[in-house]
Structure 1
Amino acid sequence: MFNGIIVASVLAGVVVLVVPARQLWGLWLAGKPVESLPLFWDMPVLIWGRIGKVLQFAAGLAVIIDLLDPDKLRVTGRQAGQRLQERRTRRQLKLRSHRLSALRRKLYDSFVDVQPMAGGGPWDAAVSLNTRLPTGFGQDAPFTLEDYLRFRERVLAGLHVRTAGRLSHEQTQEIGKQVGAFFKEHLSPEDKTVYEQREGKWWRVSAVIGAALIGSILYYMTVGFSLEWIFLHGVLVTSFFMLMSPAGAYMTALPGLAREVPALLVGYLVTHLLNRTRPLHAFRKIAVVLFIIGFGLDLLAS
């Protein structure tokens, strides 16, 4: 695949050099000077010729690869591969913990349905029993649908649901308590560990955002209205509601995953460039592309 990319790059470089500059090549073949004429982006050929010399010099640096010890490069590649595998394992554990938290929230939502009240304020909501039974909880669920249905029967048997299915605050708390116990009961020891660590982090983030939100309200009450306050308060309110929503299980994962992606990319490149029979051989192929393009630009400006 990489060889195909190199061949395509060479052909693209030749096309870029020949097609837009075909009139200049005609003048060049006729022996007329073209260094002052514009080529790409209205830059004169002379400037592009100097760029071509730089590209040829960069291509020549590929000889440094032959001066390096290939055995040491391969050792570095193997070590990078081991670290890459460890990072992938840690990332899978993180993703697993957030999927478990999202599953726990889905389990709770299968009992409790929260809908905004018509004509009410932003904090007014109708809390009632969710009568829409789920068809499944996905392959990640540590319990079957039959386990859930039996559990649902036990929970509803102990609740005295009001007219129209309304739930009191005490009933929703009891449902949350039983859902948590049922969920943890079906987790493996490894999943229980990562889930509890994830829950601890979620509560810490919630506490920080909640405290910042309260501080924002107190600031407004003492100092007053300002554009900076609107922006900050809007960010905090949005973060708070996202954290409490079903997407909140993944919200706290974003900073960690953002840090992991560059490290995984670097680890992948180092592993695949060094842990092979001819380390860094890909750069020799890239040097060929740079040399062809640089030589063409230099030749046109000569």
Structure 2
Amino acid sequence: MFNGIIVVSVLAGAVVVVVPARHLWALWLAGKQVDALPLFWDVPVLIWGRIGKVLQFAAGLAVIIDLLDPDRLRATGREAGRRLREREAQRQLRLRPYRLSALRGKLYDSFVDVRFVVGGGAGDGAVSLNTRLPSGFGQDAPFTLEDYLDFRERVLAGLDVRTDGRLSNVQTEKIGEQVDAFFNEHLSAREKALYELGQRKLGRLAAVVGVALLGSIVSYVTVGFSLEWIFLHGVLVVGLLTLMSSAGAYLAALPGLAREVPALLAGYLATHLLDRTRPLHAFRKIAVVLFVIGFGLDLLAS
């Protein structure tokens, strides 16, 4: 029995074939040949008819699914799901150094507002105290919100903040030292090692971007101004600023995540397509749509 997804898919396939070619169908119904007339992208109907035959053949291949052993397919799907869970756990472990680096940055940003205030110069007083309390630091934070609030109270008690909220360089350095001490105090030995690993990787990436940014400046001095230079220089500036922010750790993790996407996607598809009562049933639905579209194109060209 057709379910709602199949019905919608078949109707969508019929619309794809009928609506754009409604003027050709009128000629076809009148008994005239339309195979030489253009259809999509000025390609003749005859060519689309041949494409339709290929689509019908591809749809017919869905019968192979019924020839396969469903128990073996389900077993393969369960094994793919197990490997997917293991890979996901490994990915979370590899992300932990970057998450810890981002968490430390968020902790520092909860004290120091890096936005320049009106009247602030390039030296002392260029940043201000962040008065917006965070709602939390996430479930993977090694400290609780109550721990943070107690720590914040101790930090603020030791600061002589100006009435306008601006902080001196000495004050921001003191906050940074206290944040590091509090953060490391709540890390286990393993998490400290992971955090230091994330900091090293983040530092290396920032150094690479910094060198590239310096190279773009040298290029501007020696070669001159161009639209390509503006784009490249802008990307490098944004990248370096992002790496210096609390979100920089996630940017540093992107290359590793990108390499894992194909394997994770393959595992996800294998799990959800095979570990089912009717394995690969989704391909039967796709086959129905291909058959409707292919048959329509083939009929129009006949």
Gaps of 5+ in 2: none
- Tell me what 1:179 maps to: 179
Contact 1:103-1:137 at 8 Å conserved across structures: no
> Equivalents in 1 of 2:276, 2:143: separation in Å?
44
**What's 1:137 paired with?**
136
Please report the RMSD computed on the Cα atoms of aligned residues, expressed in angstroms: 3.6
Name the SS for the 1:134 alignment partner: coil
Greater shift after overlay, 142-151 or 175-184? 142-151
Query: Structure 1 31/238 Cα, relative in aligned 2: closer, same or farther at 3 Å?
Result: closer
Task: Within 5 Å, give how 1:57-136 maps onto structure 2.
Answer: 57-93=57-93, 97-116=97-116, 126-127=125-126, 130=129, 132=131, 134=133, 136=135
* In structure 1, distance between residues paired with 2:88 and 2:4: 28
Q: Counterparts of 2:170 and 2:300 in 1: how far apart (Å)?
A: 82
Q: Go from structure 1 to structure 2 and tell me whether the alpha carbon gap of 1:211 and 1:292 turns closer, same or farther (over 3 Å shift).
A: closer
Q: 1:125 to 1:44 in 2, by over 3 A?
A: farther
Q: Gaps (5+ residues) in structure 1? A: none
Could you tell me how far apart the structure 1 residues matched to 2:223 and 2:14 are? 65
Q: Is the 8 A contact 1:116 1:124 kept in 2?
A: no
The one-letter amino acid paired with 2:6 is I
> Residue 40 and residue 180 in structure 1: after superposition, are their counterparts in 2 closer, same or farther (change >3 A)?
same
- Output the amino acid matched with 2:173: Q
1: CA distance, partners of 2:21 / 2:157: 82
Does the C-alpha gap of structure 1 residues 291 and 109 become closer, same or farther in structure 2, counting only changes over 3 Å?
closer
TM-score for both structures, normalised by structure 2 = 0.78
Cα separation, 2, equivalents of 1:286 and 1:208: 46
CA contact (8 A) 1:73 1:274 kept: yes
Q: Are residues 172 and 63 of structure 1, via their aligned partners in 2, closer, same or farther at CA, if it must alter by over 3 Å?
A: same
Separation in structure 1 between the aligned mates of residue 21 and residue 233 of structure 2, nearest angstrom: 56
Q: Check whether the contact 1:101–1:249 (CA below 8 A) recurs between aligned residues.
A: yes
Cα contact 1:216–1:229 (8 A) shared by 2: yes
Taking structure 1 as the reference length, the TM-score comes to: 0.78
Where in structure 2 are the equivalents of 1:232-243 lying within 5 Å?
232-243=232-243
Provide the rounded CA distance (Å) in 2 between the counterparts of 1:91 and 1:156. 38
* 1:243 aligned counterpart, secondary structure: helix
Distance between the aligned counterparts of 2:202 and 2:72, measured in 1? 44
Q: By how many angstroms is 1:182 displaced?
A: 0.7
| Number of residue equivalences | 299
- Seen in structure 2, the aligned counterparts of structure 1 residues 102 and 29 have a Cα distance that, compared at 3 Å, is same
Question: Aligned residue for 1:199?
Answer: 199
Report the Cα distance in structure 2 between the residues aligned to 1:241 and 1:55, rounded to whole angstroms: 50
CA distance in structure 1 between the partners assigned to 2:198 and 2:29 by the alignment: 70
Residues 91-138 of structure 1: CA deviation (Å, up to 9, x unaligned): 4445555444333223223333444376888x5573455161515334
Corresponding position of 2:275: 275
